[in-house]
Amino acid sequence: MLPPARQRLFPTARQRPFPPARQRLFPTARDEAEVANAPTATSQTEHPAYALAFQDTEFLLKDELRPVRLQLELMKAELALSEAGIASTFVIYGSARIPAPEDAEALVAAAAPGEARAVAERLAAKSRYYTVARDLARLASSVPADAAGKQFVVCSGGGPSIMEAANRGAADVGAVSIGLNIVLPFEQVPNPYVTPGLSFQFHYFALRKMHFLMRAKAVAAFPGGFGTFDELFELLTLVQTGKVAPLPILLFGREYWSRVIDFEALADEGTIARGDLDLFHIVETAYEAWAMVRAHYGM
């Protein structure tokens, strides 16, 4: 039998008793999982199809679930950084192969004579950038938190070499720092100076690069290879096209950058505008770079 016209089958929100503040109407996913995982040995409950979707690894790893995995990689780090009160970051890119000064001599000694020795010597000569990155991280990490949260928190790729120097510099002054590692065919573990609760691992390069820039107030690029170039040129493109507001972009080592990339030639050829050369600054020392950051933000 149908109810009389305009008679509601369910009470309105106003008529429905309102639960006490912060009382949940539904159990948490964790609570549900505990109930669902209670031992019930039947052929149905033991089949993978019966598992809760968010606990079914095989389901989550299906190709069709890629959009969900992309969202999860974005959200996991975002929630953790928000909960940690990270308001802004100072991102430091650079090679995973440049040795710390104390390891430079051993790197050269272990290299075979010939081209390998010459390469090792060039890498050892760049060990000074490990010290510069560490100094820069100390300066950035000394900025006090404000009402918005922690400012200029050092963020690196989480690995060795220049990345380690960045996290190490933050640790030197008792500050937290972020490490954004990526799953690679060869082993890469977080360097020991990354704050454990701010150490993340990514499958998707795209999501990792998003997190590098979502809170960035300044970016430093030390001598590096394809990975550093990828991250740097994506950032330059984003600023060039107006997708990202201008921010200090600091390239360390005039000798290195002028040798590996002829920026002036790009402008001469017309493939970038002459004004695009002003999107970045080439610097040598941590103090020179930090002065530019301070000037940019009127600190």
- The average pLDDT across 52-75 equals 92
Cα–Cα distance measured from residue 93 to residue 139, given in angstroms and rounded to the nearest whole number: 16
pLDDT digits (tens, 9 = 90+) for 156-211: 999 999 999 999 999 999 999 999 999 988 767 899 999 999 999 999 999 999 99
For CA atoms 67, 69, 73, 75, give the dihedral sign: positive
Give the percent of the chain with pLDDT over 90.
79
Under 8 Å between Cβ of 141 and 153: yes
- Per cent of the chain over pLDDT 70 is 92
Amino acid at 70: L
Q: How do strand 249-252 and strand 216-221 relate by DSSP bridges? A: parallel
Across residues 116-126, what is the average pLDDT? 93
> Does pLDDT of 140 surpass 80?
yes
Give the helix ranges, DSSP H, for 14-126.
Answer: 29-36, 57-60, 66-83, 101-110, 115-125
Quote the CA–CA distance of 207 and 122 in Å, as a whole number. 33
Looking at 16-30, 102-116, 217-231, which range is the least confident one? 16-30
What confidence score (pLDDT) does residue 279 get? 97
Domains of the chain, first to last: 71-297 (3.40.50.450)
Q: Does the structure show a pLDDT above 60 at 118?
A: yes
Note the pLDDT of residue 51.
Answer: 85
Count Cα neighbours of 259 within 13 Å in the Cβ-side half-sphere. 7
DSSP secondary structure code for residue 275 in this structure: G
Per-residue pLDDT tens for 236-263? 999 999 999 999 999 999 999 999 999 9
What backbone torsions phi and psi does residue 262 show, to the nearest 5 degrees? -95, 85
Closest alpha carbon to 157 in 232, 242, 103: 232
Instruction: Give the model's confidence band at 64: pLDDT under 50 very low, under 70 low, under 90 confident, else very high.
Output: very high
Ranking 78-87, 179-188, 265-274, 283-292 by mean pLDDT, the lowest is 179-188
Separation between Cα atoms, residue 181 and residue 247, nearest integer Å: 24
Residue 90: the pLDDT is 98
pLDDT tens, position by position, 4-37: 444 444 455 555 555 555 677 888 888 877 777 7
Q: How many residues does the chain have?
A: 299
Question: How high does pLDDT run on average in the chain?
Answer: 90
* 13, 15, 23, 37, 203 from 20: Cα distances, Å: 15, 15, 6, 30, 42
As a whole number, mean pLDDT of residues 206-218 equals 96
| pLDDT for residue 280 | 97
Relative orientation angle of helices 128-141 and 101-110, to the nearest 10 degrees: 150
Task: Give the pLDDT score at 13.
Answer: 54
Residues 6+ apart with CB under 8 A from 134: 165, 166, 168, 169, 172
Q: Which letter does DSSP use for residue 198 in this model?
A: G
β-strands 177-182, 199-202: how paired? parallel
Backbone angles phi, psi at 150, to 5 degrees: -75, 130
Residue pair 136/202 in contact (Cβ under 8 Å)? The answer is no
